[in-house]
Amino acid sequence: MNLLKNFIILFVVFISVISCAQQNQPNSITMEQFKEKLKSDKELIVLDVRTPEEVAAGKIEIAINIPVQVLEQRINELKPYKSKEILVICRTQNRSAVAVNILKQKGYNAKNVLGGMNEYIR
């Protein structure tokens, strides 16, 4: 069962990678826009969907960490933010695209941060 679940997650990631080829997606935000929101919006909600090990190596202080692999099981942790925009980040933007799809299906207003942490730390 876990093998099937992992296959499905990888398949969704693959599809998301293909769909993320375009930069002007309605469910995404550029790194420049993201950094501006970090500076100006004191109530900004950032969801980091990397693993705890990745987050330990460097993180955005205000980010909530829920790895994409367990997002569906832990979705209730985001209930207080359901009426807000949630900006989702990972290492490169692929897992965050998957997370945005999950959140959208559950009725959340979420956007993928293009470029991910790789671009953020540049």
What span, in angstroms and rounded, lies between the C-alpha atoms of 104 and 82?
Answer: 10
CA dihedral 103, 75, 108, 14 (to 10 degrees): -10
Query: Pick the catalytic residue: 47, 68, 71, 90?
Result: 90
Structure tokens at 21: 């080829």
Q: Measured in whole angstroms, how far is the alpha carbon of residue 5 from the centre of its chain?
A: 19
Here the tokens at position 25 are 């997606």
CA distance 40 to 36: 6
Q: Longest C-alpha distance within the chain, in Å?
A: 45
Asked about 20 being catalytic, the answer comes back as: no
Please, which residues bridge with residue 46 across strands? 87
Known catalytic residues?
A: 90
